[in-house]
Amino acid sequence: MKNMDADQVRIVLDTAMQLFSKVELREITLDKLTKASGVPAFDIIRHFQSSENILKAVLERELELMAAAAQAPELRMPGETLGDELHVLAGVILDQYRKRIPFLGKLLPEAMTDPKVGALFYSTFIVQGRLLFTEFLRVRREFGELRDEVDIEAAAAIFLASLTGILLMHDLFGGKQVEVLDDERVLKQMCDTFLHGITRK
C-alpha cells in the first residue's frame, strides 16, 4: 500500500477548504469530500485517519501560506521606520485573514461550540500567528530598538488580538453594514500607539 502523493493531499485539502467555506463542518462527510475531490475514501482515511486531522492539516497549511506572505525583512529599506515595517506586516496579516473570511466565518461558530475545533483553531491561527509578531519584535529588540523590560511574547499577543479583533468586528460581526473601515488609517494609528509603549524613547 502506498500513501497519497503530494498532489492528492493538495487536492483533498483544497477541496476541504472549498467545502468548509460553503457548509457547516459537521455536514462535510467523507462521501462529500471523496466525490468533490475525486480521491478514494480509503486513501483519505488511511492518510488522515480522522476528520479532525483533515481540519488540522487545512489550518496548518493556511497558516503556512499566511506566514510565507508575511515574512518580515530583517533589514529596513532606506528611509523606513520601525513603524513602517510593522504597518506593512500588520497590513499583510490583515489581508491574509480577510482572504479567508468565508472559511473563518464557518470555523468560528464551530470553534466556540466544539472544544476540539476551538483548540485546533487556537493552536494554529492564534498561537502560530502570534509567533510571527514575536519573531518580528525579537529581531527589533536585538537591534536595540525596544525597551529591555518589554515582554515581547505578551506584546505580540496584544497586537495580534487587536488586529484580529478589528477584522472580526468589521467583517464578521456586522461592522460592514455600519461603516467602511479605513484600513490604512486604523493600522497606522494602531501601530503608532503600540510602538509608543514598547520602543526606546
Residues 43/8, Cβ–Cβ less than 8 Å:
yes
Summarised one tens digit per residue, pLDDT across range 18-75 is 888 788 877 888 899 999 999 999 999 999 998 888 988 988 888 788 777 776 555 5
Summarised one tens digit per residue, pLDDT across range 102-114 is 888 888 888 888 8
CATH code of 57-198, in short, is 1.10.357.10
Picking from 34, 29, 27, 31, the residue whose alpha carbon sits closest to that of residue 8 is 34
- What are the CA-CA distances from residue 170 to residues 11, 63, 97, 105, 140 (Å)? 32, 21, 12, 12, 30
Residues 110/117, Cβ–Cβ less than 8 Å:
yes
Whole-model pTM above 0.75? yes
Picking from 83, 112, 89, the residue whose alpha carbon sits closest to that of residue 194 is 83
User: What are the residue boundaries of the structural domains of the chain, listed by start?
Assistant: 1-49, 57-198
CATH code of 1-49, in short, is 1.10.10
Grid cell digits, residue 9:
493531499
